[in-house]
Amino acid sequence: MNPSCGHPTPGAPGQRAVRPLRSLFLLAALALAGSAAASAAPDSAPPARGGELAVQAARLLPGERLVLDGSLSHAAWQRAPAHGRFVEHAPRNGSAPPQRTQVQLLFDEQAVYIGITAFDDRPHEIRDVPVRYDGVNRTQDFVVAYLDPIGHKASAQFFRVNAAGSIADGIHTAADDSEDFSPDFDWDAAVQRRADGWTAVLRIPFASLRFAEPLPGQPARPWRFMVARRLPREQFHLVTSVELPRGSPSFIDRLQPLLDIELPEQHAFLTLRPTLTLRRTEQRSPGGGATRESHHEAGLNLKWRPRAELVVDATIKPDFSQVELDVPQLSGNSRFALYLPEKRPFFFESADLLRTPTEAFYTRSITQPRAGLRATWRSASWQGTALAAEDIGNGLVLLPGPFGTDFAEQPGSRVYAGRLRRGGGAASPTVGALFASRDYEQGRGANRVLGGDVEAAFGDHWRLRAQLLASRTTARAVGSTLQAGPAEDGRRLFLRLQRDTAHSGTALALDDISPGFRHDTGFVNQAGIRSAGLHQAWKWHDVGPFNNFDLFVDARDIRDTVTGQTIDRWVYAGFWSTAARNLEWWLEVHPRSTVRTRPTSGLLTQRFVSTGLVMTPAPWFAFLDASLNIGRLADAVADRTRPGANLRLSARLRPLRSVELDTSLSHARLIDEDTPTRRPAYRESAAQVLGIWHLDARHHLRLIVQRRSLERLSATGVTAQDGDNLSLTWHWRRSAGTQLFVGASRQREGAAAGPRTTEAFVKLQLDAAEWPLRW
């Protein structure tokens, strides 16, 4: 529960007429119709409300203006109450912090200002390196503010700044205690070094915060707030402005009341962000011929908040050419589709509302949106989001089965999805509902999903998450294409009950998915199964060199719901530990793990050991993440077990203060025991090098090099395929809305002499207009 360290198939577009977007604007109409502080001042004792230690804010006086330079020398900060009652959360929960920290808050009609003083009696050890946007993590000195203006403690926006002034932001969701760095908000921060540490000032506009006005006749629910600070030394300390006991349901469970904030009189605003992309592409065939194309495309992104509770997002012809490449994953010995994280800005708003007990919304399934419209509503009682998009397609539709994922070519489609939620936080259960519909072009059928979910806490330790979904599909697979056919119904039931205390953890899970269940707007890569699992852990703290030491047992049984055949079954034991230098080390022993790769085969017995570690060896070697499985493993293609191993390595290096270097390597091999030389029957590698050169705080160069290779021994010999990607991008970021990208890329798939695609592009996005609106 600590702030983390931060860790489409190509094809020709389908030919079809441009459809009117009346349905998109109807969605917006329905959404609208439904809306009937740093000087070393003494710590002023904040008032306690209901046993909670509150934090107070002070208002800037008329005519007072703050210059965002990281300094807390302005006279206004002398009036801001200072909160300095921080406590260590990790590694020794509840202990006095190793360094003193103090937070103050100011606000005016436009923004909230958070001033943080990070005292340090060893300032030469402060790790203050520039990183790219959203790259602030536990390997650097940073401070982070959590704000929950709704006050439910169900989710919180977080804003990080490190000691070099680099920033990151996102949403922390309490239900699964997860941090999502995808959402980006308009805000800014500055830092300043001092002889006794450093200071930071965060300016967060009210327009970037998601709050609701109180209902008539009801008292306003107080905002919730917390500040945390990372100090990466020999031990990687985390201190917080409120004590978080071990075993708390989530990291944001104890957010403090934030008092005396006055909402601005004017909430409405409209932001327009036009984009222009110029692109030149060359496709070169193996025979040497080349096809060249040049084109330009203009797009528009709009964000409108007509009232405090409602935010409307719209996009027309979005371009995502500046998005970083996905880290390549090994897939040559996998029976199931692999999950990919979302990186496209249009889908970031209300990301926490799309989180359900299962991956019921998978926005990567919307491959190439031509246009999209989204409305998000947040009040003290209800939260909801609705989305409509025109998807060009050209990706893959997942066709889940009990023994693997099949695929069909993705036609163009219209997508409608909605999520409604009531309640939130530990005080009351959260009840939610969702609807998703995808209608394929040319009468190829549809897929619709409807369901509900509940999340509830019992006492301080028990939590329940449950979801029931029903689907109806008329877009049936005929070979590799979708065609309209008879309707097929399916359902999915998911239950998870867990209990967490300071010294133990228990989780029981059931996932029952009928054979006909399909979710073309969610992520479901296996169906026709019933999975039951148990996880039990015993926890110790401050044991010898370890900060934490857990012993655990994990068991799972997955069966075909039609035949009753066992598909996967395992019981394994292991330990997980943490120690100095950001160390996490785990080991699992799998003495007997059985798997059936196809319905006509017998059970294969795997015996292997799995181990891994995460650590920060040195300030210049900020992060090392390694894992290894070795032993007798299943060959899914050959339907047998073989001796083998798979290895994953990633490292984050800082050869120079202005240079980041992230590398990742995955490698797997299985040995053919039937050959005298024990040659590999399967060998696969995937590697990526990501280099960032920070020219200054707003400019950087980004280089990405990727390489993939796969070899498999078959009856006819060795089959091989490989591919590589190379991209170089210069990025200038003035704000979240005004950015410029200039780049070039090259891609090759298949054999060494296979087709190649090269591309050069320029993309400009502007904050063209932002108007506060008065009704």
pLDDT tens digits for range 738-762 = 899 999 999 987 665 678 899 999 9
* Cα–Cα distance measured from residue 196 to residue 122, given in angstroms and rounded to the nearest whole number: 8
Number of neighbours of residue 55 by Cβ within 10 angstroms: 28
Residue type, 552: F
Average pLDDT value for residue range 630-644: 95
Q: pLDDT category, 267, cuts 50, 70, 90?
A: confident
* Cα–Cα distance measured from residue 105 to residue 256, given in angstroms and rounded to the nearest whole number: 14
Tell me the per-residue pLDDT of 280-335, one tens digit each, with 9 for 90 and over.
999 888 777 789 999 899 999 898 888 888 889 999 998 876 677 778 888 888 89
Q: Please state the pTM of the whole predicted model.
A: 0.85
Question: Would you kindly state where each structural domain of the chain is located, as residue ranges?
Answer: 37-259
- Cα→Cα distances 609→86, 605, 650, 768, Å: 41, 14, 20, 56
In sequence order, which residues have a C-beta less than 8 Å from that of residue 458 and are 6 or more positions away? Answer: 464
> Is residue 624 pLDDT above 80, yes or no?
yes
Tell me the per-residue pLDDT of 423-453, one tens digit each, with 9 for 90 and over.
755 557 889 999 999 999 999 999 999 999 9
Whether the CB-CB separation of 606 and 589 falls below 8 Å is answered with no
pLDDT value for 427: 58
Largest CA distance in the chain: 85
Cα torsion 514, 518, 521, 523 to 10°: value is 60
What are the structure tokens assigned to 503, written together?
A: 């010294």
Which of the 8 DSSP states describes residue 367?
-
What are the structure tokens assigned to 590, written together?
A: 């799998």
User: Which of residues 341 and 196 earns the better pLDDT score?
Assistant: 196
What are the structure tokens assigned to 573, written together?
A: 């034991």
* Cα–Cα distance measured from residue 465 to residue 413, given in angstroms and rounded to the nearest whole number: 32
Number of neighbours of residue 48 by Cβ within 10 angstroms: 11
User: Which of residues 467 and 677 earns the better pLDDT score?
Assistant: 467
The beta-carbon contacts of 566-572 under 8 Å, at least 24 apart in sequence, are 566/594, 566/596, 566/603, 567/402, 567/403, 567/529, 567/595, 567/596, 568/593, 568/594, 568/595, 568/596, 569/593, 569/594, 569/595, 570/594
Whether the CB-CB separation of 415 and 387 falls below 8 Å is answered with yes
Q: pLDDT category, 3, cuts 50, 70, 90?
A: very low
Please give the angle made by the CA atoms of 277, 283 and 289, to the nearest 5 degrees: 145
* Cα–Cα distance measured from residue 256 to residue 49, given in angstroms and rounded to the nearest whole number: 10
pLDDT value for 664: 96
pLDDT value for 37: 31
pLDDT value for 221: 80
Q: Rounded to 5 degrees, what are φ and ψ at 285? A: -85, 165
Average pLDDT value for residue range 223-245: 96
> Is residue 343 pLDDT above 90, yes or no?
no
* Cα–Cα distance measured from residue 435 to residue 447, given in angstroms and rounded to the nearest whole number: 11
Q: pLDDT category, 215, cuts 50, 70, 90?
A: low
Tell me the per-residue pLDDT of 8-65, one tens digit each, with 9 for 90 and over.
332 333 333 333 333 333 333 333 333 333 333 344 444 444 457 899 999 999 989 9
* Cα–Cα distance measured from residue 370 to residue 390, given in angstroms and rounded to the nearest whole number: 5
User: For residue 26, what is the enclosing H or E element?
Assistant: helix 22-33
- Cα→Cα distances 466→246, 456, 497, 732, Å: 25, 9, 9, 44
Tell me the per-residue pLDDT of 503-561, one tens digit each, with 9 for 90 and over.
999 999 999 999 999 999 999 999 999 999 999 999 999 999 999 999 999 999 999 99
Q: Which range, of 139-143, 355-359, 451-455, 504-508, averages the lowest pLDDT? A: 355-359
Tell me what the pLDDT averaged over the chain comes to.
Answer: 88
Check: CATH 2.60.40.1190 for 37-259?
A: yes
From the list 520, 525, 524, 527, the residue with the least C-alpha distance to 397 is 520
What does 93-156 look like in DSSP terms, one character per residue? Answer: TTSPPSS-EEEEEEE-SSEEEEEEEEE-S-GGG-------TT---TTS-EEEEEEETT-SSSEE
- Cα→Cα distances 495→232, 433, 455, 500, 552, Å: 38, 16, 10, 17, 21
The secondary structure of the chain in percent helix, strand, coil, rounded to multiples of 5, reads 5, 55, 40
In sequence order, which residues have a C-beta less than 8 Å from that of residue 476 and are 6 or more positions away? Answer: 445, 482, 483, 484, 485, 486, 488
Q: How far is CA 34 from the centre of its chain?
A: 30
How many DSSP H helices and E strands does the chain contain?
2, 43
Strands of 285-409, DSSP E: 290-307, 310-316, 369-378, 382-391, 396-400, 405-409
Report the share of the chain in percent with pLDDT over 90.
68
In sequence order, which residues have a C-beta less than 8 Å from that of residue 676 and are 6 or more positions away? Answer: none
pLDDT value for 286: 75
> Is residue 598 pLDDT above 60, yes or no?
yes
- Cα→Cα distances 213→217, 223, 263, Å: 12, 11, 8
Average pLDDT value for residue range 126-154: 93
* Cα–Cα distance measured from residue 432 to residue 469, given in angstroms and rounded to the nearest whole number: 12
Give the pairing of strands 405-409 and 396-400: antiparallel
What are the structure tokens assigned to 168, written together?
A: 């990151």
Q: How far is CA 55 from the centre of its chain?
A: 29
The beta-carbon contacts of 715-722 under 8 Å, at least 24 apart in sequence, are 720/751, 721/750, 721/751, 722/750, 722/751, 722/752
pLDDT value for 25: 34
* Cα–Cα distance measured from residue 568 to residue 722, given in angstroms and rounded to the nearest whole number: 31
> Is residue 726 pLDDT above 70, yes or no?
yes
